[in-house]
Amino acid sequence: MSLNAERSYKMKLRDVENAFKYRRIPYPKRSVELIALLAISCTFFLFMHTNKLNSRLKEMEVKLQPSEFSALGLTGNHISGHDAGKHDDINTLHGTYQYLKSTGQLKHLTTAQLNNTPRAQVDTLFFNRVAKTGSEKMMELLKILGKRNNFQARRDAGAVYEVVIMHDAFAKNFIRTEVVNCTQANSYTKHVAFLDFDLLGEPWPIYINLVRDPVERLVSWFYYIRSPWHFGERRNAFGDAIPLPDIDWLKKDFNRCIEERDPECVYEQMEMGNLGDHRRQSLFLCGQNMAVCMPFNSHEAMQRAKKNVEKHYAVVGTWEDTNTTLSVLEGYIPRFFGGAKDEYYALRKILGNVNMNSYRPGISDKARAILSQNLTREIELYQFIRHRLYKQYIALKLEEDPRLRN
């Protein structure tokens, strides 16, 4: 942006701020409020956050992901001593394969060991979606797959506030009236923490979920709630129940928020509040026990979430490993996800990236380092889930080509 253009933009922004401050902008109707909000938000994002490189890189990441196991070169024992010593090697598909091979686990790995789908007691796919993991995209995919594979894709009714934590009586009624009440094959989607169907005396569905890099997820949430379309949709749906935001809040920068310890961006260890900002990805996999699952970044919550993932979830994937996730969904839940890859890439051409904020700035190295120190258990859980996903994928490929065991 040129110096003159920047000065002109700052003058315009100051005029808008003053107009709000001294009430020269009237608020006779909700539509006028909405237009003013959208104008301010769009101007701010267009001028200050024209960083589209991030979204381009994400698209390239997906395209460059291996669609076939052989593309990873996993057919020989060629891991070097240098690679074997890398701390994060196991957090890649190739590293997971080499780890399983070097420890002797590869010879005995089967899909049956990793497949929880046969344990389901009803023909219901339950997607208790984690916020800001790309769940809207999955919901669109489920709608399309429902038509292809003859099941009904359902979701919860919209509400001003999500009910993520439920007491037992409420949860039991929710399950009976919303989740397992359908007489045909179906999927049901809702933001809700893991529900233990055994404890509630109800039949188990097929559990699935998505996760995302914890740092990227928090950055995404920070700018998503400031996006004009987010406010526009919520104001249209819920009217005056959604208040107009403060301009200074809209202008807030995530890096400065973290580095200057703004109260919105402070992530205290073991604290019990701030449920509304979705800082706890683990909560959705840990469950409804507040004492165990609410303390932020706790070891106990992480361990409970790991146990639930291994014991109860058919698949927990991530769009950061798109092809791997889709392959595992197709392989382990074919009744619902047959043809998922074909439908997904056709869907991308039509819709692009649902809810993607193209004007989101990047995160600084300093802010990332601070967040990483505060999200140690959340990051460990995320890597555990990816490692399990890779094992599920490798087991599928071993059944296709047993020579890969050697």
The residue assigned the tokens 């949860």 is 171
- Whether the per-residue pLDDT at 71 is higher than 90: the answer is no
What is the arithmetic mean of pLDDT over 47-73?
43
- Whether the per-residue pLDDT at 357 is higher than 50: the answer is yes
pLDDT-wise least confident of 72-76, 152-156, 220-224, 290-294: 72-76
Predicted confidence at residue 2, as pLDDT, reads 47
- Whether the per-residue pLDDT at 254 is higher than 70: the answer is yes
pLDDT bin (cut points 50, 70, 90) of residue 247 is confident
Q: Are 242 and 234 contacting, i.e. CB atoms less than 8 angstroms apart?
A: yes
Predicted confidence at residue 42, as pLDDT, reads 52
Q: Are 204 and 312 contacting, i.e. CB atoms less than 8 angstroms apart?
A: yes
Backbone angles phi, psi at 353, to 5 degrees: -100, 110
With a pLDDT cut of 90, the percent of the chain lying above it is 62
What is the arithmetic mean of pLDDT over 167-190?
96
Domains and CATH numbers, the chain: 29-106 (no CATH), 109-405 (3.40.50.300)
CA distance 210 to 297: 19
CA distance 291 to 289: 6
Residue 12: strand, helix, or coil:
helix
pLDDT bin (cut points 50, 70, 90) of residue 228 is confident
Amino acid at 353: N
Q: Which residue has the higher pLDDT, 14 or 94?
A: 94
Instruction: Return the closest-CA partner of residue 283 out of 193, 388, 393, 156.
Output: 193
Q: Which residue has the higher pLDDT, 135 or 58?
A: 135
Mean pLDDT of the chain: 82
- Whether the per-residue pLDDT at 28 is higher than 80: the answer is no
The residue assigned the tokens 């928020």 is 257
Predicted confidence at residue 385, as pLDDT, reads 98
Predicted confidence at residue 160, as pLDDT, reads 65
Sort 158 into a burial class: Cβ within 10 Å, 0-12 / 13-18 / 19+.
Answer: exposed
What lies within 8 Å, CB to CB, of 173 at 6+ separation is none
Catalytic residues: 191
Q: Are 218 and 374 contacting, i.e. CB atoms less than 8 angstroms apart?
A: no
Predicted confidence at residue 192, as pLDDT, reads 97
Q: Please spell the DSSP secondary structure of 67-130, one letter per residue.
A: SSGGGGTTTS----HHHHT-TTGGGSHHHHHHHHHHTT-GGG--HHHH--GGG-SSSEEEE-PP
CA distance 272 to 281: 14
pLDDT-wise least confident of 73-87, 169-183, 239-253, 355-369: 73-87
Largest CA distance in the chain: 75
The one-character DSSP state at 205 is -
For residue 283, how far is the Cα from the chain centroid?
Answer: 13
What lies within 8 Å, CB to CB, of 194 at 6+ separation is 128, 207, 284, 285, 286, 287, 288, 305, 308, 312
Give pLDDT tens digits for 365-392: 999 999 999 999 999 999 999 999 999 9
pLDDT-wise least confident of 119-128, 250-259, 353-362: 353-362
CA distance 220 to 225: 9
What lies within 8 Å, CB to CB, of 122 at 6+ separation is 180, 203, 204, 205
pLDDT bin (cut points 50, 70, 90) of residue 231 is low
Predicted confidence at residue 274, as pLDDT, reads 83
CA distance 353 to 61: 13
What is the arithmetic mean of pLDDT over 82-106?
77
- Whether the per-residue pLDDT at 188 is higher than 50: the answer is yes
Sort 112 into a burial class: Cβ within 10 Å, 0-12 / 13-18 / 19+.
Answer: exposed
Query: Among the residues of 195-275, which ranges form H helices?
Result: 214-224, 228-238, 247-250, 254-259
pLDDT-wise least confident of 41-45, 112-116, 148-152, 313-317: 41-45
Predicted confidence at residue 244, as pLDDT, reads 78
Q: Which residue has the higher pLDDT, 187 or 23?
A: 187
Predicted confidence at residue 46, as pLDDT, reads 47
Predicted confidence at residue 84, as pLDDT, reads 37
Give pLDDT tens digits for 265-324: 999 999 998 887 789 999 999 999 999 999 999 999 999 999 999 999 999 999 999 999
Beta bridge partners of 124: 186
Predicted confidence at residue 162, as pLDDT, reads 85
Q: Which residue has the higher pLDDT, 61 or 146?
A: 146
Predicted confidence at residue 159, as pLDDT, reads 74
The residue assigned the tokens 């969904």 is 329
C-alpha dist (Å) from residue 199 to 123, 289, 344: 20, 12, 35
